[in-house]
C-alpha cells in the first residue's frame, strides 16, 4: 500500500470543549467540526503533561514523560532522542516540513540550535509572534521582513503588548499560507509528505486576535467559570495564589470574560485558517491520500476552579484536549471514539501509517486502529506534572510540586505531593463533568480509588526504574571480585 501524506495541525493551549463537535455552542468552529465529522472524534484524549515542552516532547517522540526525560518547561530534549519525523524521512522517504512552533526543548535552546534528530527537511520555526524574533530559524520573522516590515518593527518594539494583529500578517495566517504553498508544491510529487502546521493560538495573552473577528463570538453565551464545591488540595491553592498570569481574585468578572472572549476569538480565527488548508488539500486532489491529525498540546483553565492557564492542577480543562483524525477509506466518517487516547499515541499512528515499526515507542498506540476498534491496551490514561511550570516570579515552585493523574472511562484520580505530604482528588466524570465534588476518601468509591491508585503506583514504579542514576559506579572486573561464598 502506498503510504499516505500526513498533515498534522497542532494548536497551543486549546481545551477540548472549545469545538462544536464536542458540544461547544459559543465558539464557531465550522471547519474543524467538518473535519471531525468526516473522520474520528476522540472524546477522551489526555495529554501526557499539562505544560508545553514535556507534552510536545511526548507527542513527537511517542513516549510518556519518563521515557524522554523532559519534565519542565525549560528542559531540553536529550540529543539522542529521535522525533518520529526523522524516521519518516529516513526510513520511508517522506518530505517533511514544519511551519510554526516545535518546543520539544526550551525556547532558549531552540532559538539558537535545532535538535539533531528533529527530522524536518523544511524548518520554518516560530515559537510565538514576538519571541526570538532574531533567531535564524524564525520563518515568521523572515516572512514579515519581506512582506510587512512595519508590523515586524511594531512587534520588536512592543512585544506581547502589540495587540490585535491584522489578519493579513497574523502568525496563524502565515502558518496556513506556508502550509498551503507546501501542499501545492507536493501536488505533482510521488514522494509522500509530512507537514506540521503548529500554531501559537489560542495561548495567552489572549489579545493577538484580529479585531475584525471580534463579532464572531456571542458575548451572551460565554460561560462563567466553574467553581469547586469541596476544599482543594494545597498544591492547587498554591497554584491559585502564585499563578504567573495573576490571582483570579485580582480580576473582575468583566476582565475574566474578556480573557475568555479573546481566547474564543483566536479559536474562531484559527478555525478559518484550518479551513483554508483543508480546501488546499481538496484543490490539489490530495484529500483521499492524506491522513489529517488535529490536536493541542494541553488546555487552559480560563478561570475554572479558581485557576488560570495551566499547571499542577490536573482538571479536564487543562488535561483534556481535542483530537480529530480523518483518513478517507481507512477511518469511517462519523466515528466517535471513547477509548483512552493520549498525546504520545500520535507517533505510533504516523509510523504505522507509513508502514514502519513502532518498536521505538512501544507505549504509543495506533489511533487509526483505536478509532476502528474503540479500544486501547491501557487501563487508564496517565498525566504527570513534575514541577513542570513556573510561578509568578518566573521560577520553578519551591518547594516543588508533583501531580500524577490516572483516568479510566468514568473516574479520575489525581495524587498531589509536595514537601513530604500528599493529597488526592477523585471525580466521577459521568455525573460530575465539571469536577466540582471531590470523592476521595468516600467509602462508596474506595474500590475505584484503589484501582486508580494502583495504576498511579505502577507508573511511578516505572518512572523510578527508568530514571537516570545520579551516582557513578566503579565495577570490579573479574580479577577484582571478592569471594563471597562460604560453602
The answer as to whether 220 is a domain residue is yes
**What is the rounded distance in angstroms from the CA atom of residue 234 to the CA atom of residue 238?**
6
The answer as to whether 272 is a domain residue is yes
Q: Say yes or no: 348 and 421 in one domain.
A: no
pLDDT tens digits, residue range 409-456?
999 999 999 999 999 999 999 999 999 999 999 999 999 999 999 999
**What is the rounded distance in angstroms from the CA atom of residue 98 to the CA atom of residue 8?**
10
The answer as to whether 345 is a domain residue is yes
Q: What is the pLDDT of residue 480?
A: 84
Residue 470: half-sphere exposure toward Cβ, Cα within 13 Å:
1
| SS3 per residue for the chain | CCCCEEEEEEECCCCHHHCHHHCCCCCCCHHHHHHHHCCEEECCCECCCCCHHHHHHHHHHCCCHHHHCCCCCCCCCCCCCCCHHHHHHHHHCCEEEEEECCCCCCHHHHHHCCCCCCCCCEEEECCCCCCCCCCCCEHHHHHHHHHCHHHHHHHHHHHHHCCCCCHHHCHHHHHHHHHHHHHHHCCCCCCCEEEEEECCCCCCCCCCCCHHHHHHCCHHHCCCCCCCCCCCCHHHHHHHHHECCCCHHHCCHHHHHHHHHHHHHHHHHHHHHHHHHHHHHHHCCCHHHEEEEEEECCCCCCCHHHCCCCCCCCCHHHHECCEEEECCCCCCCCEEECCCCECCHHHHHHHHHCCCCCCCCCCCCCHHHHHHHCCCCCCCEEEEEECCCEECCCCECCCCCEEEEEECCCEEEEEEEECCEEEEEEEECCCCCCCCCCCCCCHHHHHHHHHHHHHHHHHHHHHHHHCCCCCCCCCCCCCCCCCCCCC
Paired with 243 in beta bridges are 391
Q: What is the pLDDT of residue 470?
A: 77
Segments of the chain with pLDDT less than 70: none
The answer as to whether 349 is a domain residue is yes
* Set of cell numbers at residue 272: 478559518
Residue 359: half-sphere exposure toward Cβ, Cα within 13 Å:
1
Q: Say yes or no: 213 and 326 in one domain.
A: yes
> What does each C-alpha distance from 479 to 472, 473, 483, 484, 485 come to in angstroms?
21, 17, 11, 14, 16
Q: Say yes or no: 371 and 410 in one domain.
A: no
Q: Say yes or no: 31 and 147 in one domain.
A: yes
**What is the rounded distance in angstroms from the CA atom of residue 59 to the CA atom of residue 73?**
15
Q: Say yes or no: 29 and 85 in one domain.
A: yes
The answer as to whether 139 is a domain residue is yes
Domains identified in the chain, total number:
2
Buried b (16+ CB within 10 A) or exposed e, 429-467: beeeebbeebbbeeeebeebbeebbebbeebbeebeeee
Q: Say yes or no: 364 and 418 in one domain.
A: no
The CATH number of whichever domain residue 421 belongs to comes to: 3.30.1120
Q: What is the pLDDT of residue 468?
A: 80
Q: Say yes or no: 49 and 110 in one domain.
A: yes
Q: What is the pLDDT of residue 487?
A: 81
The answer as to whether 140 is a domain residue is yes
**What is the rounded distance in angstroms from the CA atom of residue 10 to the CA atom of residue 130?**
19
Q: Say yes or no: 152 and 249 in one domain.
A: yes
The answer as to whether 184 is a domain residue is yes
Q: What is the pLDDT of residue 203?
A: 97
Q: What is the pLDDT of residue 474?
A: 81
Q: What is the pLDDT of residue 484?
A: 83
**What is the rounded distance in angstroms from the CA atom of residue 411 to the CA atom of residue 442?**
13
Contact at 8 Å (CB) between 424 and 415?
A: yes
Rg (CA), the chain: 23
The answer as to whether 232 is a domain residue is yes
Q: Say yes or no: 40 and 111 in one domain.
A: yes
Q: Say yes or no: 131 and 197 in one domain.
A: yes
Q: Say yes or no: 149 and 242 in one domain.
A: yes
The CATH number of whichever domain residue 289 belongs to comes to: 3.40.720.10
**What is the rounded distance in angstroms from the CA atom of residue 179 to the CA atom of residue 281?**
10
pLDDT tens digits, residue range 175-225?
999 999 999 999 989 899 999 999 999 999 999 999 999 999 998 999 999
Domain of residue 436, residue span? 402-466
Q: Say yes or no: 372 and 420 in one domain.
A: no
Q: What does the longest C-alpha to C-alpha distance in the chain come to?
A: 87
Amino acid at each position: 500500500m502506498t503510504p499516505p501524506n500526513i498533515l498534522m495541525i497542532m494548536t497551543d493551549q486549546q481545551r477540548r470543549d472549545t469545538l462544536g463537535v464536542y458540544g461547544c455552542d459559543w465558539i464557531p468552529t465550522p471547519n474543524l467540526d467538518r473535519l471531525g465529522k468526516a473522520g474520528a472524534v476522540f472524546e477522551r484524549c489526555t495529554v501526557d503533561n499539562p505544560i508545553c515542552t514535556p507534552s510536545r516532547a511526548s507527542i513527537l517522540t511517542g513516549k510518556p514523560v519518563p521515557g524522554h526525560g523532559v519534565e519542565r518547561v525549560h528542559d531540553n530534549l536529550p540529543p539522542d532522542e529521535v522525533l518520529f519525523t526523522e524516521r519518516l524521512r529516513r526510513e520511508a522517504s517522506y518530505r517533511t516540513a514544519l511551519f510554526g512552533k516545535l518546543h520539544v526543548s526550551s525556547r532558549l535552546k531552540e532559538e539558537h540550535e535545532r535538535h539533531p534528530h528533529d527530522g524536518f527537511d523544511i524548518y520554518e520555526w516560530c515559537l510565538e509572534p514576538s519571541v526570538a524574533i532574531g533567531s535564524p530559524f524564525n520563518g515568521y520573522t523572515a516572512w514579515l521582513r519581506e512582506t510587512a516590515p512595519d508590523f515586524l518593527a511594531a512587534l520588536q518594539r512592543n512585544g506581547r503588548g502589540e495587540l490585535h494583529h491584522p489578519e493579513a500578517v497574523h502568525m496563524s495566517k502565515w502558518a496556513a499560507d506556508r502550509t498551503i504553498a507546501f501542499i501545492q508544491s507536493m501536488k505533482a510529487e510521488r514522494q509522500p509528505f509530512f507537514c506540521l502546521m503548529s500554531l501559537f493560538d489560542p495561548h495567552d495573552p489572549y489579545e493577538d486576535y484580529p479585531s475584525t473577528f471580534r463579532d464572531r463570538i456571542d458575548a451572551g453565551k460565554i460561560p462563567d467559570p466553574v467553581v469547586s464545591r469541596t476544599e482543594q488540595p494545597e498544591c492547587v491553592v498554591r497554584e491559585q495564589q502564585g499563578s504567573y498570569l495573576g490571582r483570579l481574585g485580582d480580576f473582575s468578572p468583566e476582565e475574566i470574560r474578556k480573557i475568555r472572549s479573546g481566547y474564543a476569538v483566536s479559536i474562531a480565527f484559527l478555525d478559518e485558517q484550518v479551513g483554508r488548508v483543508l480546501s488546499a488539500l481538496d484543490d490539489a486532489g490530495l484529500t483521499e491520500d492524506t491522513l489529517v491529525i488535529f490536536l493541542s498540546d494541553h488546555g487552559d483553565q480560563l478561570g475554572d476552579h479558581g485557576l488560570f492557564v495551566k499547571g499542577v492542577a490536573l482538571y479536564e480543562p487543562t488535561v483534556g484536549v481535542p483530537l480529530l483524525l480523518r483518513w478517507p477509506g481507512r477511518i469511517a466518517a462519523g466515528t466517535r471514539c471513547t477509548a483512552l487516547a493520549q498525546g504520545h499515541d500520535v507517533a505510533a499512528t504516523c509510523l504505522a501509517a507509513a508502514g514502519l515499526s513502532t518498536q521505538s515507542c512501544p507505549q504509543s498506540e495506533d489511533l487509526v486502529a483505536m478509532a476502528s476498534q474503540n479500544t486501547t491496551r491501557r487501563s487508564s490514561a496517565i498525566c504527570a506534572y513534575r514541577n513542570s511550570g513556573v510561578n509568578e516570579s518566573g521560577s520553578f515552585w519551591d518547594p516543588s510540586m508533583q501531580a500524577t493523574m490516572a483516568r479510566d472511562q468514568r473516574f479520575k484520580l489525581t495524587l498531589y505531593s509536595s514537601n513530604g505530604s500528599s493529597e488526592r482528588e477523585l471525580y466521577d466524570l459521568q455525573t460530575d463533568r465539571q469536577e466540582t465534588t471531590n470523592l476521595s476518601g468516600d467509602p462508596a468509591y474506595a474500590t475505584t480509588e484503589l484501582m486508580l491508585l494502583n495504576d498511579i503506583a505502577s507508573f511511578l514504579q516505572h518512572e523510578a526504574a527508568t530514571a537516570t542514576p545520579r551516582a557513578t559506579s566503579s565495577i570490579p572486573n573479574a580479577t577484582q571480585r571478592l569471594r563471597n561464598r562460604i560453602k
